[in-house]
Amino acid sequence: MATSYELFKSPDPSSFYRDLNSTTTVDGFNPIRRAGQRERHRVSVPVEDRARNLYYAIVAVDGAGNAGRASNVRQAYMPAPEEYNR
């Protein structure tokens, strides 16, 4: 049973399966719902990650610290904020 989750990001979706250590940890958090139920978790996207495609994956970790495989790989694009001259 998962006692925590780790969220990772990478510009290359295959890196989650090839070498998770080559990806970047975004956040770690504890589940608030039972297994099989939908979870929501909000993260901030740093300015340097905007205006580019990134992939995110989640890894479940059990109480003994054993990590599962990356799952739920999703592509995301956050546009850069527009600048206005006044």
Q: Is the pLDDT of residue 57 over 90?
A: yes
Looking at residues 61-85, what average pLDDT do you find? 90
**Structural domain tally of the chain?**
1
Give 40-49 contacts, CB < 8 A, sequence gap 24+.
41/5, 41/7, 43/7, 45/78, 47/80, 49/9, 49/78
Is 84 inside a domain boundary?
no
CATH of the domain at 28: 2.60.40
First to last CA, the chain: 54
Total-model pTM: 0.85
Could you tell me which residues are beta bridge partners of residue 7?
27, 58
Domain extent at residue 24 = 2-77
* Spatial distance between the Cα atoms of 36 and 21, rounded to a whole number of angstroms: 27
Q: Is the pLDDT of residue 45 over 80?
A: yes
pLDDT of residue 37: 86
pLDDT digits 0-9 by tens, 10-41: 999 999 999 999 999 999 999 888 878 888 88
